[in-house]
Structure 1
Amino acid sequence: MRVTTSLSYEQSIVNLQKRQQELSNSQVQLTSGKRVNKASDDPTAAARAERALTSIARTEANQRAIDASRNVMNIAESAMADSIDLMQSARETLVAIGNGSYTDSERSALANKLAEIRKQLLNVANRPDGGGGYVFGGQGSSSPPFVDTPTGVEFQGQSGEIMASSGEALTLTVDGRKAWLQAKSGNGVFTAAPDSGNSGSAWVTSGAVTNPSQLPYPSSAATPPSYSVVFTVSGSTTTYDVLDDSGTALVSGQPYKAGKAIDIPGLGMSVTISGGPGNGDKFTVGQSEPDLSIFDSLDKAISTLKTAGINNGQVMQAVNTGVTELDSILGNMQGSRSAVGETLNRMDGVESRNSALKLAAKTEKSNAEDLDMTEAISEFTNRQSGYQAALQSYASIQKLSLFQYIG
């Protein structure tokens, strides 16, 4: 084969350009610190890095959701702690009002204290979340969810919770209706209340369950059954009948003794009535319902205790009912607070898993595209030496020309 001078020159230039390109590529890798700078460098590794980058972005979005949820849950936990303290103060005030020696003005002053506690509770219930919403706004509310109306406090939000956009169940609000307005009435199983037309000075406690297996509650009937204790006073003798809702007597003509439990026969319930009932006075027992509002409960107690001239029985009924309802509301609020606390605890695990996923994604991205600096420096040195050798070879070839020799 005939080798011409031009062919030698051309081959030398091709080799020189190739080595120059390799040296340039090594230099780009060293300056960027990455083995893959564009998809054509290694399509498979570039795809792996892209998937890892997507995973990193997803974990960062999840972390923002975790941070937002934690912020709201911390505010909610603090608000519930404040509300529980206020309810405890209201309970202590109600117990103090039960002092039979208080005058109307003294009871009214304590009722005013309850009214101030109610105002504070309303402010807590409408606590903002710092982001334009409200902690107890349910599924969203642009205005305070609890509104004080002439008929009482109403919840004008939407029941439920707003969930964060995340793979985990993270809440951004608390169901205000459930936390503040849906405690169980009575003792949680049944209620015991005086008839509005009673004329005596007797009052009834919340009652007790004596045999759970006999309880008629909870009832699936559209109208749950109810029972009543009706008093008959004749001279110095006071008796009572226990009736069902059809008026049928379960027991009748039983002698009344103040403070002694009265059984609802065969139904696993008893109530305790104290004081002096009037003739025809009636006390009704019914199913407990999850519709007890802290604001309605305080409103009833405040209204009764501010009324001048009420007898001791009416005072004690207001106090007993108020304390029983506050105990139920406190239990409901503590349950909601426990749920918030559990959410905060769960976030620690969610955050730990999210961090582990992010680390794994970063590791995968690094494995796919990052450069081994030791190996790269060695490779760069080799290619630099090769390029220098190519330059020297080209310079030598230029001298091997017939015309140059003749000249």
Structure 2
Amino acid sequence: MRISSTLFFQTGLNSINAQQSDLMHLYQQVGSGQRMVTPADDPLAAAQAINISQAQTMNKRFADNREVANRNLGIEDNTLQSVTLLLQDLKTQLVSAGNGTMSDADRSTLSNVLSNARNNLLGLVNATDGSGQYLFSGAKGNTAAYQDVNGKIVYMGDAGQRKIQADQTRQIAGSDVGSDIFNRAAPGTTSYLTMASTTNGGSGVISTPMIMDTNGDDVGKTFNVVFAAGANPGEYLYTVTAKDPAGGADTVTTGTYIPGTTASLKLGDGVQANFSGTPAIGDEFVVEPASSSDYAAIKGGANTGGASIGSPSVSDYSKTRPGDVYDITFTGPDEYSVTISNPAYPPETLTNQKYVPGRENVLELPHGMQVKISGSPALNDEFTVQASAVKTDLNIFDTLDSIIDSLKQPHGSEQDKAAFQNTLATAMQRLDVNYNNVLTVRSSVGARMNELDALDANGAMRSLSFSSQLSKLEDLDYYTASAQLQLRTSALEAAALAFRKIQATSLFNMSN
């Protein structure tokens, strides 16, 4: 085979260029510290590195979100701590107000003290987070949570919670809705509250009701007590109307009361309250549960199965629609359908929904509603979920306004004193419920902060794992690279030496 001089030269040049290219690649690896200068160096590892880098970036984003959530919850906890201290002071002041030796001037001074505390509380409930958003106004962060409307402080936010994506599968509320803190009792509260009509003319005083039997049929209902003339002189007849929260028929009972004694008024099956003083004809008292659901459940009158329904609850306030009525019909022992009716929307029907007889089932209803049904229903058994006909509003500012106004009134008669005692008792009961609910929310805030700490720890471990994996895929082994660099340098020098040797070869010096 004959080899031309051009082939000699081209082969030598190609060899030098190849060695220089390999050496340049090594220089780039050593200079950058990266094993893969281009994806072509290791296509599979390059693809894996992209996925891991994306996961690491998302993990960092979640960590930033958790930092924001922790900051907001920290501000909320500090605010609620101030509210707690303020409520403790208010409760102490109300105990002082019950001192029978206080003069009208003393009570007027105390009303000014409570007015200042009310204004301080209004400032606290309208606190903002680090970005200027109101903490307790729900999803309406640009709107003050509580505002003065015609002399009455009302909640102006909404029921939506601002949730923060704290992890891939976990959202945590970064604040709480003001109406859930300052307008209601803690969920599960079973106590009762009393209120006397402002038109009462007698000196009757009602005490805090007692639940004698938690399984009583009337527990959870609102009671209206009205006094009338009795059959005998000096005797009063009282009528108790128990209002069904589901909008069903009211229950009416009667009893007699003799002034001068402290009598136990039987309000309903399982509930009673002590009463003292002398009422006037037509005097009215309201006894309502401290905690009542926004929605009520009604069992069909023709049901023949053994299924029972619990109190409905809202799983997502952002999806609720005022006016929704849910009719649940069992089309079989393990199947039910749901019909949603609302005057403002077209009707909806869900069929072939599954149910497990004999145990408690949580039925996830449309538009953010859920309800528990347990037992074994019969065919065509029906249940209805609708807005509650009776709802307890525990607006803390209404409570303060009522006692402040009452403290300003002079005590010229026994009727005035009784009216004040009833108002004071109502205010103390409601503030106790508000106080307990604030503590419950503070506990919830602390639990969320603990969860964020746990998620932070898991996120830090994931970040370390991602960094380790990326290091294995991308980082250069400097020992191997240094050895390869020396080897390629020697190879380049050898290629250059060989090229010079070939270059010196010609027909004119072959004889030498």
Q: Would you call these one fold, judging by a TM-score over 0.5?
A: yes
Corresponding residue for residue 39 of structure 1:
39
> What's 1:294 paired with?
396
Residue type of the alignment partner of 2:225: S
Paired residues for 1:165-244 under 5 Å: 165-166=165-166, 167=168, 168-183=170-185, 188-218=190-220, 226-228=223-225, 230=227, 232=229, 237-244=234-241
Once the two structures are superposed, the pairs formed by residues 60-79 of structure 1 within 5 Å of their partners are 60-79=60-79
Task: Show the counterpart of 1:268.
Answer: 270
Q: Match for residue 369 of structure 1?
A: 474
| Counterpart Cα distance in 2 of 1:22 and 1:249 | 100
Deviation at 1:31, TM superposition (A): 0.6
After TM superposition, list the pairs within 5 Å mapping 1:238-253 onto structure 2: 238-244=235-241, 249-252=253-256
The farther-off stretch of 239-248 and 351-360 is: 239-248
What CA deviation, in whole Å up to 9, does each residue of 1:61-110 have, x standing for no partner? 11111111111111111111111111111111011011111111100111
Q: 1:105 to 1:188 in 2, by over 3 A?
A: farther
Residues 83, 259 of structure 1: CA spacing in aligned structure 2 closer, same or farther, 3 A cutoff?
Answer: farther
Q: Distance in 1 between matches of 2:260 and 2:481?
A: 98
The 3 A distance-change label for structure 1 pair 395 and 283 is: same
2:56 corresponding residue in structure 1: 56
1:257 positional shift: 4.9
* Residue 244 to residue 145, structure 1, CA distance change in 2 (3 Å): closer
Distance 1:249 1:125, change over 3 A: closer
* Structure 2 residue matching 1:308: 3-state secondary structure: coil
Larger deviation: 1-10 or 243-252? Answer: 243-252
Aligned to 1:327: 432
The answer to whether the 8 A contact 1:147-1:153 is kept is: yes
In the alignment, the residues of structure 2 paired with residue 345 and residue 184 of structure 1 have an alpha-carbon distance, to the nearest angstrom, of 21
Alignment CA distance shift 1:6-1:42 (3 Å)? same
When residues 292 and 251 of structure 1 are mapped into structure 2, their CA distance, relative to the original with a 3 A threshold, is same
Code of the residue aligned with 1:87 in structure 2: it is: L
More helix by share: 1
Question: Which amino acid in 2 is paired with 1:126?
Answer: N
Partner of 1:317: 422
User: How do 1:69-148 residues align onto structure 2 when only pairs under 5 Å count?
Assistant: 69-148=69-148
Amino acid at match of 1:277: P
- TM-aligned CA distance change 1:108 to 1:258, over 3 Å: farther
Greater mean alpha carbon deviation, residues 386-395 or residues 286-295: 286-295
Question: Which letter maps to 2:47?
Answer: A
Instruction: Tell me the secondary structure at the aligned position of residue 20 of structure 2.
Output: helix
Deviates more, 1:95-104 or 1:254-263: 254-263
| Structure 2 counterpart SS, 1:164 | strand
- The AA in structure 2 aligned to 1:250 is T
1:384 to 1:138, Cα distance in 2 relative to 1, 3 A: same
Superposition CA RMSD, Å? 2.6
Cα 1:290–1:401 shift into 2, 3 Å: farther
Preserved contact between residue 195 and residue 287 of structure 2 (Cα < 8 Å): yes
Question: Letter of the aligned partner of 2:445 in structure 1?
Answer: V
Match of 2:459 among 349, 354, 373: 354
Report which stretch shifted further, 167-176 or 226-235.
226-235
Equivalent residue of 1:214, what SS? coil
Once the two structures are TM-superposed, the CA of residue 308 in structure 1 deviates from its matched residue by 2.1
Matched position secondary structure for 1:403: coil
Per-residue deviation at 1:239?
4.5
Q: Match for residue 258 of structure 2?
A: 255
> 2: CA distance between counterparts of 1:98 and 1:259?
19
- Structure 1's 28 and 243: CA in aligned 2 closer, same or farther, altered over 3 A? closer
1:301/1:318 contact within 8 Å kept: yes
Larger radius of gyration: 1
Distance of 2:86 and 2:420 partners within structure 1: 22
Provide the rounded CA distance (Å) in 2 between the counterparts of 1:188 and 1:213: 12
If the length of structure 1 is used for normalisation, what is the TM-score?
0.90
- 1:305–1:318 contact (8 Å) kept in structure 2: no
Identity in percent: 24
SS of match in other structure, 1:212: coil
Decide whether the 8 Å contact of 1:189 with 1:218 is kept in 2. Answer: no
**SS at the partner of 2:194?**
strand
Contact in 1 for aligned 2:237/2:254 (Cα 8 Å): no
Range 278-287 or range 169-178, more displaced: 278-287
Q: 1:19 corresponds to which residue?
A: 19
* Pair 1:336–1:248, CA change in 2 (3 A): closer
The answer to whether the 8 A contact 1:137-1:157 is kept is yes
Q: Give the TM-score, by structure 2 length.
A: 0.72
Residues 1:84 and 1:380: Cα distance change in structure 2 (over 3 Å): same
